[in-house]
Every structure is written in C-alpha cells, then in structure tokens.
Structure 1
C-alpha cells in the first residue's frame, strides 16, 4: 500500500501473467492503469499465507519487492529504487543460471 500512495503500481507479476496473452501490451497497460494502477481484478487466487499477510502486514516503508530466488522463496523488500534495481539484477542472474 505504501507505493500506491506515491507512484503508479507496475508489478512484474502482471507482466508475467500477461506474457501468454494475445492482447497488445499497450491495451493491457492502459486497462491495468485505468483504476489508478491497480489491475481490474485479482491476478490469481491468493493462498492462506498471502491472505494472513494482507490482513496483518509487517510494518515498513517498502516501495518495491523482488523475489530474487523463487526456488527458495526469497523475496527482498526495499524503500530505494537503486536497491530494487540490484535485487532485480539478482533475479535476472538467478534466471540466467536455470
């Protein structure tokens, strides 16, 4: 919620879900941002842990997050864009070795 107050939501998970979609990316971007940056509906069905985290989130001023190691479920959160870029590079390195 921190980022929604400051900047438009541009979650990579949305791009990953849309990758297999036949619609033009610009159409999807426009549709996704029509509601202030939020997708028009759920991206997928959340699990029990995700629901619990949404109801009782950890306190922090994070603006970005990246799952840097999906196999081990390591997700890193940050307040700074430069650190976000480093985390994204970690993910790209991880994906390049798979």
Structure 2
C-alpha cells in the first residue's frame, strides 16, 4: 500500500526496489486446512468446497507455490531492476482492479 510506495520512492536512488507480491489461494497445507474447516462449517464435502474456492478466481484453480516464488524471483532479479513501488497480484485473475 502507501507505506511500500513511500519507501520505494525513498530508496530507489540507492537501486533498492520495494514491491509487494499478493498471492491468491495457493496449494499449501494451510489452504488444505482452511478448505477442511470451511467444508465442515458449511456442511459440504472437502471436494465440493475445493471446487467452490477454485471458482473464486477466473483461472479456476489454485496457485502452485512455485508460481508465487517465480514472481518473487523475477522481482528480485536484475530483469526487474526498474520496477518498484508496485503490488503484483499472483491470484489467477481474482483481483478486479489494478
């Protein structure tokens, strides 16, 4: 948000970049637990809740951890040295605004 944008402006002259990666639902043990809890709470199966949650994103699937990591690796690389002060949603299209 604003804090990272301000910080990015302050440190850019030192060739330091500040960016945020905003991951969507990512296949991790934590997401598996969230799905289980939501399914139990809503009286549905884990498989049904998994499909419901996959449908939250236009990509209709969960991210793989390496997809989030790839965005981070890129932003930390020389190839992204002129990119600073941004938020990068890695969420399968779920974010509706820029």
Which has the higher relative contact order, 1 or 2, with Cα contacts under 8 A spaced 6 or more apart? 2
TM-score, normalized by the shorter chain, greater than 0.5 = no
Q: Which has the larger radius of gyration?
A: 2
Question: What is the TM-score of this pair, normalised by structure 2?
Answer: 0.27
TM-score by length of 1: 0.27
Which of the pair is proportionally richer in helix? Answer: 2
